[in-house]
């Protein structure tokens, strides 16, 4: 039995047919790999499958662009038999490719534990044995070939059951008016489908799948492999660097942390404060020994916190974007040229401070006063294991006349949003790990009208917004110090990156990435002192775990900064297209192939005196450690081996 309808309805029905077949393919993927999703029950799976429709539509529209255009273009020739045969051929060809890719990845996923991305072609495209491998796989997994052929048969059968009725409208003017209007509507629907909807400022990306996932790794169920290939086809991919053998690499650097003492975890709360654009330059306590003439700072409250904290004079950000900072702070994952969150490797399995502490009974929250989904942070926090993500939307729902607190650009002003946090956090049980990301010190540096004349005039426009955010932080602490949980909390204070610079000493490579990192425990369990080791965002995760007495092995690219040693002074971050390695007073710039410069960055803040060919032994040792870090980083990222059990043995 066949169903006859107009050409537009027929096109829609055929796309819906493929959506249904992709759902069958998703179910096959889930059932074949069900052992890898032990916490995914039927209800959860149905929610994941529903979320997957967005990704399926995008993949189908990409693949069927020629077919869709052929069917909606406003010309009468499209009803011709030959024309429709060509359209059918395109539909079957692209549908067959989509299903073949999806089916192959059902098996491939069990080896790589992520949906295949475009990096596959970089890894295996030039392998002379790839043809033999494919043929052997077809033979070994013959049942998948049968499964694929059944899906193809269903596609052909369903397509042929739908017939197009030729338009009976002989009035050319009316025909073309309707056809052109339908074409424009079709183009609009196509654009929306390619984007994955119109709710975000940018087209849907791989990391969006994390928002639908309930348990770790379920983003793979939400996604389909054609979408992963389409979305990563233009991405920069990492090149794996194999400088040393395993023994040499591990002797120089290893991301595997094995606690030496079987300590009992002390269940203190953890509160991570990420201050937008708070560079070291603006903070007086980090510039007390500066040689900068007429130095001015803008953070009186933060300075008072520093005086009661363990803080670090030489701390660096891991990148120049907020979305680079959050994975580094929460999961000790660095970014290079592209943010990890939006990269080809965002499907990788990894753990965070949050997910490790959740296993120990911790509740988890993340607060950001911007729109939900802003900066791509919400997607990452979901995969990192955070239970509750509170945004501008939550603030507006729970605050009467909340719109008056909106800055008109990014979201809610810091002071009211922080007070919202202080109130909201009361509902959660201890112990908890919470993170707060401020906004008001972001360009265009808007602060509430009532505070515009409250602070001293700075040398840059952003200085007033820094003072306002510092004031908001003061009000926040005045509120929460009255709460019972306050004394039992470790506060970790840092910034996502730096921003505008006034002093030339902060305009070089070191200054442009210099940020605060401070550990504040109101109970007094931490020493109150300034420390001078080199640290960065990557060190926050292992430091928190060390302070709490976490006693299980874990994977982290950073180091604990509580117990200083000669080797723990080594630090690497990525900036301005190069790896920046520091140890002691020395900073090495390494471009991935060779060292390009070496500076004593503490004495030469402007970094004008290149010591690469003078301090040759220092440069050589620092370059060796940097290469070991890069080798470990690239190998574990590329091979989805960012856990203790999967870390590369090569």
Q: What is the pLDDT of residues 516-569, one digit of tens each?
A: 999 999 999 999 999 999 999 999 999 999 999 999 999 999 999 987 665 668
The reported pTM is 0.78
DSSP 521-552: -TTS-S--EEEEEEEEGGGHHHHHHHHHT--S
**Which of helix, strand or coil describes residue 321?**
coil
Report yes or no: 97 and 63 within 8 Å, Cβ to Cβ. Answer: yes
Q: What average pLDDT does the chain have? A: 89
State the average pLDDT over residues 348-363.
Answer: 94
User: Which has the closest alpha carbon to 580: 342, 334, 345, 344?
Assistant: 334
What is the separation, in whole angstroms, between the first and last Cα of the chain?
Answer: 59
Count other C-beta atoms under 10 Å from residue 486's C-beta. 16
Q: What was the pLDDT predicted at 565?
A: 65
d(CA 644, CA 255): 9
Q: Residue 610 has which token pair?
A: 């290149």
Here the contacts of 413-416 (C-beta below 8 Å, separation 24 or greater) are: 413/369, 413/439, 413/440, 413/447, 413/448, 413/468, 413/472, 414/369, 414/438, 414/439, 414/440, 414/441, 414/468, 414/469, 414/472, 414/473, 415/448, 415/468, 415/471, 415/472, 415/475, 415/476
Helices of type H across 113-171: 119-124, 130-140, 142-160
Cα–Cα distance, 342 to 383 (Å, whole number): 13
Span 246-638: which CATH code? 3.40.720.10
Question: Confidence class of residue 259 from pLDDT cuts 50, 70 and 90?
Answer: confident
The average pLDDT across 183-200 equals 85
Who wins on pLDDT, 513 or 508?
513
Predicted local distance difference test score (pLDDT) of residue 303? 96
Under 8 Å between Cβ of 516 and 317: no
Which residue carries 């050319």 as its tokens? 172
Where, residue-wise, is CATH 3.40.720.10 in the chain? Answer: 246-638
Write the pLDDT tens digit of every residue in 363-410: 999 999 998 877 778 888 988 999 999 999 999 999 888 889 999 888
Q: Residue 126: its pLDDT value, please? A: 47
Contact at 8 Å (CB) between 486 and 480? yes
Q: Which of 146-150, 317-321, 614-618 has the lowest mean pLDDT?
A: 317-321
109 CB neighbour count, 10 Å cutoff: 19
pLDDT at 195: 87
CB 368 within 8 A of CB 439: yes
What is the predicted pLDDT for the residue at 174? 81
Q: Judge residue 261's burial from the number of C-beta atoms within 10 Å of its C-beta, 0-12 exposed, 13-18 middle, 19 or more buried.
A: exposed
Q: Decide if 244 contacts 252 (C-beta within 8 A).
A: yes
């Amino acid at each position: 039995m066949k169903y006859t309808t107009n050409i537009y309805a027929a096109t829609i029905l055929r796309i819906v047919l493929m959506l249904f077949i992709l759902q069958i393919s998703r179910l096959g993927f889930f059932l074949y790999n069900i052992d890898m999703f032990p916490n995914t029950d039927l209800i959860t799976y149905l929610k994941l499958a529903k979320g997957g429709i967005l990704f399926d539509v995008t993949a189908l529209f990409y693949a069927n662009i020629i077919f869709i255009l052929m069917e909606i273009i406003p010309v009468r020739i499209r009803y011709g038999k030959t024309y429709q045969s060509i359209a059918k051929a395109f539909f079957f060809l692209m549908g067959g490719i989509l299903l073949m890719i999806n089916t192959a990845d059902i098996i491939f996923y069990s080896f790589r534990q992520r949906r295949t991305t475009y990096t596959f072609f970089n890894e295996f495209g030039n392998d002379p044995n790839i043809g033999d491998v494919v043929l052997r796989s077809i033979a070994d997994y013959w049942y998948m070939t049968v499964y694929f052929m059944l899906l193809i048969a269903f596609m052909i059968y369903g397509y042929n059951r739908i017939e197009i009725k030729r338009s009976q409208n002989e009035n050319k003017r009316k025909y073309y008016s309707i056809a052109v209007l339908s074409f424009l509507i079709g183009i609009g629907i196509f654009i929306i489908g390619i984007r994955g909807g119109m709710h975000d400022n940018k087209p849907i990306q791989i990391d969006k799948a994390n928002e639908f996932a309930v348990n770790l790794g379920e983003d793979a169920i939400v996604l389909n492999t054609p979408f992963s290939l389409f979305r990563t086809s233009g991405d920069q991919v990492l090149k794996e660097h194999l400088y040393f053998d395993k023994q040499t690499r591990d002797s120089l650097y290893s991301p595997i942390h094995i606690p030496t003492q079987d300590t009992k975890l002390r269940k203190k709360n953890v509160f991570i404060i990420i201050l937008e654009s708070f560079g070291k330059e603006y903070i007086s306590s980090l510039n007390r020994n500066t040689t900068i003439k007429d130095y001015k700072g803008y953070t009186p409250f933060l300075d008072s916190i520093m005086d009661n904290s363990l803080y670090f004079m030489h701390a660096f950000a891991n990148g120049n974007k907020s979305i680079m900072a959050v994975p580094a702070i929460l999961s000790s994952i660095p970014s290079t040229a592209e943010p990890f969150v939006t990269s080809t490797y965002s499907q990788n399995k990894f753990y965070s401070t949050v997910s490790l502490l959740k296993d120990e009974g911790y509740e988890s929250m993340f607060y950001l006063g911007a729109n939900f989904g802003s900066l791509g942070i919400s997607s990452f926090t979901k995969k990192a294991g955070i239970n509750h993500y509170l945004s501008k939307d939550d603030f507006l729902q729970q605050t009467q006349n909340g719109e008056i607190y909106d800055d008109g650009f990014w979201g809610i002003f810091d002071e009211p949003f922080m007070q919202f946090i202080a109130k909201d956090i009361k509902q959660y049980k201890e112990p908890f790990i919470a993170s707060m990301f401020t906004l008001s010190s972001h360009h265009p540096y808007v602060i509430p009208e009532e505070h515009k004349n409250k602070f001293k005039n700075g040398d840059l426009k952003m200085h007033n917004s820094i003072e306002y955010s510092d004031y908001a932080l003061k009000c926040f602490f005045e509120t929460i110090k009255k709460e019972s949980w306050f004394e039992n909390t470790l506060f970790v204070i840092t910034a996502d990156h730096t921003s505008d610079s006034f002093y030339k000493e902060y305009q070089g490579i070191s200054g442009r990435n210099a940020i605060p990192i401070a550990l504040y425990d109101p109970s007094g369990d931490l020493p109150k002192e300034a420390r001078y080791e080199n640290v960065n965002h990557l060190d926050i995760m292992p430091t928190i775990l060390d302070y709490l007495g976490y006693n299980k092995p874990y994977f982290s690219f950073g180091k604990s900064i509580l117990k200083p040693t000669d080797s723990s002074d080594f630090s690497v971050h990525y900036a301005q297209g190069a790896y920046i390695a520091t140890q002691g007073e020395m900073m090495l710039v390494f471009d991935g192939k060779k060292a390009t410069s070496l500076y004593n960055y503490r004495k030469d803040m402007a970094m004008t005196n290149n010591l690469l060919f003078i301090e040759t032994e220092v440069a050589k040792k620092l370059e060796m450690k940097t290469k070991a870090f890069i080798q470990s980083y690239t190998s574990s990222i590329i091979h989805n081996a960012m856990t203790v059990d999967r870390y590369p043995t090569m």
